[in-house]
Structure 1
Amino acid sequence: MAQSKYEVTYIISTTLDEESKTALVNRFDGILKDNGAEVVDSKDWSKRRLAYEINNQHEGIYHIVNVLADNDEALNEFDRLAKIDGAILRHMIVKRED
């Protein structure tokens, strides 16, 4: 089965210090890898002002992960855990066609 390309974008709370943010990113990259996905690229996009307040915050750190996956198991697990984790304000998973 051919691997599909996905882009995972999530917004990290600015209340985290740099060490905690790095640990969070490594944890969620690990979740993807442990569930069978290949993380091609994982990088911070930028700290940006949010269009609307989320959890009393006006800014967030956008992080983008490009992933190759055979199935949606890794993405479903990422989605489930991202909804639970309070440090991730919002997330979005998009299947890329390129």
Structure 2
Amino acid sequence: MNKYEGVLIFKTDLSDEERNSELDRLKGIIEQQGSILEVDEWGKRKLAYEINYITDGYYVVIQFEAEPQHIREIERRCRIADSVIRYMFVRKDA
């Protein structure tokens, strides 16, 4: 298994329970074939540039271990989620 770090940016107009349920859903997908090491919620921040007229986002950083082929499925789920504005997953060096 490789170590990864993922940054998720959620829409700020979501309620806390909606955002947490979406985050729990994504964490469940990661835990199907991996394990979560740490979840760090940065909170509401200003975006560096406007995305579809949205200027703020709620940032969450997840550190986890997973197989390389499982990352494609995680990214696919983030892509189709309406509550996620942007996402990025990078492999951390050992």
Which residue of the partner structure matches residue 63 of structure 1? 60
5+ residue gaps, structure 2: none
**1:18 maps onto 2:19 in alignment:** no
The alignment of Structure 1 onto Structure 2 pairs a total of residues equal to 94
1:47 positional shift: 1.2
Which residue of the partner structure matches residue 29 of structure 2? 31
Retained in 1: the 8 A contact 2:2–2:68?
no
- Runs of 4+ aligned residues of structure 1 deviating over 4 Å after TM superposition are none
Scaled by the length of structure 1, the TM-score of the pair is 0.89
**For the residues of structure 2 that align with 1:74 and 1:33, how far apart are their CA atoms?**
10
Q: Residue 93 of structure 1: which of 84, 89, 92 is its match?
A: 89
Q: Among all aligned residue pairs of Structure 1 and Structure 2, give the percentage whose two residues are the same amino acid.
A: 30
Which residue of the partner structure matches residue 51 of structure 2? 54
Scaled by the length of structure 2, the TM-score of the pair is 0.93
